[in-house]
């Protein structure tokens, strides 16, 4: 491999000749050889957006000439578009402020811009600190990029996926609104409901997560750009924050605002902790839905078997004909990971000291990972499972007719204690509720038929 020589304040460093990053990135590569978790594409994009916006703002304020602005903007566009991803090799395990990654971005933009202008890489024709990082600090650009990445993913990826999932669940609720089935509480038989009502509950869970995400966006939209090192705005010209945010809004088409308190924006990451909490709650909802679906589809002959799930692939390498609820399994594994990520984010977010939280890389890494997992998981279980679910009407009726909890409707007619006697007698003698009621003398056969009608027990006449 061929190398070129670049330098920083600590001296000269050999850098691969085919890479746009410089001395500080190379030092970080040598100093942080820890695992292989690198910054996601969405975060690299967000940082490119911030750098482009800052260059334009600096030019508007007269502290960066047009030629340098155009060079920075052109290279930043390539970062935004993913054309330079191979030049971002750093793992998230680095300085807790993200200084090494910020310098990676600064160096890549500077060198790519120099190359495009016909200059020599590392020549400092465009300086990574003095020009690309002008009016900025890692301490305000990194959390700004965190919020930009999170907002873009929530608005453009997660919320649309959840909206489609909610739509599919709501359709099932409508399609099956008259399919009466037995309810289950404590994993035991309970009073009836419709399959549509059951699915409406699932749709409501997803709906509530969408509302929670939308409510939090007004805080995610607050950007601490312009806060500089500790929030005071040292070395930052007046209105830099205003112009930077305006440019970020133009690029993303999202309504970002200036953080009303930049000290909070640097010193903690409470908004992303809240976001992570919503993601964990969403994971809880999706875990419940996925588990219900696989239990209701269990069998096909020796389980509950009330739902027929799509047969996507063979389920066993040894048992012929076996088909497993793999989409539910995928989603529940995703949910476990997201819950773990939320724990990491919460702990990391609690570790801010004085003017800076220094766990930022691990926070944004886990937040992005959770958003992507939940979005893709929602799409997967919707298209590969939920849309293709069919009710097993015969099995549903069998369970409904065999349930002892239909006796609950008799409480107001013969009292709780007498109704319990009917249920226990039916269970002990393995006879029907109707036979038990007549045998014990509480009701005639005709009276039982007039009262014990499942379609009258689901909150509306389901006939």
What string of H, E and C letters represents the secondary structure of 94-119? CCCCCHHHHHHHHHHHHHHHHHHCCC
Query: Residues 225, 244: contact at Cβ < 8 Å?
Result: yes
Quick one: pLDDT band at residue 462, thresholds 50, 70, 90?
Answer: low
What string of H, E and C letters represents the secondary structure of the chain? CCEEEEEECCEEEEEECCCCCCHHHHHHHHHCCCCCCECCHHHHHHHHHHHHHHHHHHHHCCCCCHHHHHHHHHHHHHHHCCCCHHHCCCECCCCCCCHHHHHHHHHHHHHHHHHHCCCCCCCCCCCHHHHHCCCCCHHHHHHHHHHHHHHHHHHHHHHHHHHHHHHHHHHHHHHCCCCEEEEEECCEEEEEEEHHHHHHHHHHHHHHHHHHHHHHHHHHCEECCCCCCCCCCCCCCCCHHHHHHHHHHHHHCCCCEECCCHHHHHHCCHHHHHHHHHHHHHHHHHHHHHHHHHHHCCCCCCCCCCEECCCCCCCCCCCCCCCCCHHHHHHHHHHHHHHHHHHHHHHHHCCCECCECCCHHHHHHHHHHHHHHHHHHHHHHHHHCHHHCEECHHHHHHHHHHCCHHHHHHHHHHCHHHHHHHHHHHHHHCCCHHHHHHHHCCCCHHHHHHHCCHHHCCCCCCC
Same domain, yes or no: 354 and 298? yes
Q: Is residue 186 part of a domain?
A: yes
Indicate left, alpha or beta for 403 from its phi (over 0: left) and psi (-120 to 50: alpha): beta
Domain stops at, among 95, 113, 134: 134
CATH number, domain of 418, equals 1.10.40.30
On the 0-12 / 13-18 / 19+ scale of CB atoms within 10 A, 219 is middle
Same domain, yes or no: 419 and 363? no
Instruction: State the catalytic residue, choosing from 123, 316, 350, 445.
Output: 316
Quick one: pLDDT band at residue 463, thresholds 50, 70, 90?
Answer: low
Lowest average pLDDT, out of 38-42, 116-120, 177-181, 280-284, goes to: 116-120
380 catalytic? Reply is no
Q: Is residue 237 part of a domain?
A: no
Q: Which domain holds residue 425?
A: 404-456
Number of domains, the chain: 3
Same domain, yes or no: 377 and 429? no
Same domain, yes or no: 361 and 411? no
pLDDT of residue 404: 96
Over the stretch 246-305, which tens digit does the pLDDT of each residue have? 999 999 999 999 999 999 999 999 999 999 999 999 999 999 999 999 999 999 999 999
Same domain, yes or no: 208 and 145? yes
186 catalytic? Reply is yes
Beta carbons within 10 angstroms of residue 402's beta carbon:
12
pLDDT of residue 461: 64
Element (H, E) at 223: strand 222-223
Strands 390-391 and 3-8: unpaired
Q: Is residue 248 part of a domain?
A: no
Over the chain, what is the mean pLDDT? 97
Cα four-point dihedral sign 252, 256, 258, 262? negative
Above 70 in pLDDT, residue 324? yes
Same domain, yes or no: 108 and 150? no
Element (H, E) at 430: none
Same domain, yes or no: 211 and 356? yes
Same domain, yes or no: 435 and 372? no
**Mean pLDDT for the stretch of residues 89-117:** 97
CATH number, domain of 46, equals 1.10.275.10
CATH number, domain of 146, equals 1.20.200.10
Question: Token pair of 125, please?
Answer: 């024709």
Q: What percent of the chain has pLDDT above 90? A: 97
**Mean pLDDT for the stretch of residues 314-332:** 96
Q: Which residue has the tokens 């924006």?
A: 265
Q: Is residue 337 part of a domain?
A: yes
Over the stretch 361-412, which tens digit does the pLDDT of each residue have? 999 999 999 999 999 999 999 999 999 999 999 999 999 999 999 999 999 9
Over the stretch 177-209, which tens digit does the pLDDT of each residue have? 999 999 999 999 999 999 999 999 999 999 999
Q: Is residue 71 part of a domain?
A: yes
Same domain, yes or no: 103 and 46? yes
Same domain, yes or no: 80 and 213? no
Domain stops at, among 107, 134, 161: 134
**Mean pLDDT for the stretch of residues 320-347:** 97
Q: Is residue 462 part of a domain?
A: no
Same domain, yes or no: 176 and 322? yes
Domain stops at, among 100, 116, 134: 134
Above 70 in pLDDT, residue 59? yes
pLDDT of residue 121: 81
**H helices then E strands: how many in the chain?**
17, 8
Q: Is residue 256 part of a domain?
A: no
Q: What percent of the chain has pLDDT above 70? A: 99
**Mean pLDDT for the stretch of residues 39-63:** 98
Above 80 in pLDDT, residue 460? no
pLDDT of residue 197: 98
Q: Is residue 75 part of a domain?
A: yes
Give the integer Cα–Cα distance in Å for 300 and 303.
6
Instruction: State the catalytic residue, choosing from 7, 35, 95, 186.
Output: 186
pTM score, whole prediction: 0.96
Same domain, yes or no: 380 and 279? yes
């Amino acid at each position: 491999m061929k190398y070129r020589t670049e330098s920083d304040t600590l001296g000269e460093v050999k850098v691969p000749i085919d890479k746009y990053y410089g001395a500080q990135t190379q030092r970080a590569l040598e100093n942080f050889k820890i695992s292989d978790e690198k910054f996601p594409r969405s975060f690299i994009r967000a940082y490119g957006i911030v750098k482009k916006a800052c260059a334009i703002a600096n030019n508007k304020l007269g502290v960066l000439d047009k030629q340098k602005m155009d060079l920075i903007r052109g290279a930043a566009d390539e970062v935004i578009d993913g054309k330079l991803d191979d030049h971002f090799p750093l793992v998230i395990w680095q300085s807790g402020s993200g200084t090494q990654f910020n310098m990676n971005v600064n160096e890549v933009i500077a060198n790519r811009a120099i190359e495009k202008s016909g200059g020599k890489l590392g020549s400092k024709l465009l300086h990574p600190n003095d020009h690309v990082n002008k009016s900025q600090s890692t301490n305000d650009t990194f959390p700004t990029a965190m919020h930009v990445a999170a907002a873009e993913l929530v608005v453009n990826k997660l919320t649309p996926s959840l909206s489609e999932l909610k739509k599919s669940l709501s359709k099932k609720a409508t399609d099956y609104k008259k399919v009466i089935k037995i309810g289950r509480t404590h994993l035991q038989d309970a009073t009836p409901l419709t399959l549509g009502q059951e699915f409406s509950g699932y749709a409501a869970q997803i709906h509530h997560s969408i509302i929670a995400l939308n409510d939090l966006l007004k805080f995610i939209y607050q950007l601490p750009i312009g806060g500089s090192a500790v929030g005071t705005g040292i070395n930052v010209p007046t209105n830099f924050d205003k112009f930077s945010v305006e440019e970020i809004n133009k690029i993303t088409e999202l309504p970002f605002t200036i953080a009303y308190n930049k000290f909070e924006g640097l010193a903690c990451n409470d908004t992303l902790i809240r976001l992570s909490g919503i993601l964990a709650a969403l994971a809880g909802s999706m875990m419940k839905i996925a588990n219900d679906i696989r239990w209701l589809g269990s069998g096909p002959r020796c389980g509950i078997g009330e739902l027929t799930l799509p047969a996507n692939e063979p389920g066993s390498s040894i048992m012929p004909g076996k088909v497993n609820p793999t989409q539910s399994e995928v989603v529940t594994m995703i949910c476990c990971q997201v819950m773990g990520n939320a724990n990491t984010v919460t702990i990391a977010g609690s570790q801010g000291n004085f003017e800076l939280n220094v766990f930022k890389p691990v926070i944004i890494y886990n937040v992005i990972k959770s958003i992507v997992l939940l979005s893709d998981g929602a799409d997967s279980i919707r298209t590969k499972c939920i849309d293709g679910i069919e009710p097993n009407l015969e099995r549903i009726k069998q369970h409904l007719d065999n349930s002892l909890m239909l006796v609950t409707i008799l409480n107001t007619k013969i009292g709780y204690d007498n109704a319990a006697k009917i249920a226990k007698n039916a269970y002990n003698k393995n006879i029907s509720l109707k036979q038990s009621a007549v045998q014990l003398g509480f009701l005639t056969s005709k009276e039982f038929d007039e009262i014990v009608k499942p379609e009258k027990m689901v909150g509306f006449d389901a006939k």
